[in-house]
Amino acid sequence: MGTLRHEELRLLEEYSSYEQGTLQLEEQSLCSALDKLSAVEVVCPLCKKSTLMLNKSVIFCKCGLRIDTEQDGLSLGNVQRLLEMGLEQHGAACHCEPVYSLVSDAGPTNLLMTCPDCDWMSVVI
């Protein structure tokens, strides 16, 4: 009878450690999913396909957009807010979709938001 009790205890311990390991894996998976959901994803305003990426102070996209924001210290969240603010300001006066372009006149590169219909212009970055 003693060996049966030892076998039960051993099985309970195995099950307990298996259950704990499963819970840890589920927690890690959930944390990873939450990190992905909370990550800021900004669609590139130039190509409207890829998301903008940030490496140190350089914001860039696969399409060729590249802006060094070292002096401004901008994050992708800042860029997202600046784009939204520009769209809101323009949308208050005009219902056309603005056009984005990169401008670098003998200095740092800037991202411009312009509207050919109402001649509106805003420097996003």
Q: Kindly list the domain boundaries of the chain, sorted by start residue.
A: 1-39
Burial letters for 1-12: b for 16+ Cβ neighbours within 10 Å, e otherwise?
eeeeeeeeeeee
Q: Tell me if 45 sits within 8 A of 124, measured CB to CB.
A: yes
Q: What pLDDT does residue 34 have?
A: 56
Q: At 49, is the secondary structure helix, strand, or coil?
A: coil
**Helix residue ranges per DSSP H, 39-116:** 76-91
**SS3 of the chain: helix, strand, coil, percent, to 5:** 40, 20, 35
pLDDT above 90 covers a percentage of the chain that reads: 27
Least confident of 12-16, 35-39, 43-47, 111-115: 35-39
Q: How many CB atoms lie within 10 A of CB 61?
A: 19
Report the chain's mean pLDDT, rounded to a whole number.
83
- pLDDT tier at 83 (50, 70, 90 boundaries)? very high
Q: How far apart are CA 98 and CA 48, in angstroms?
A: 12
- Residue 45 pLDDT: 93
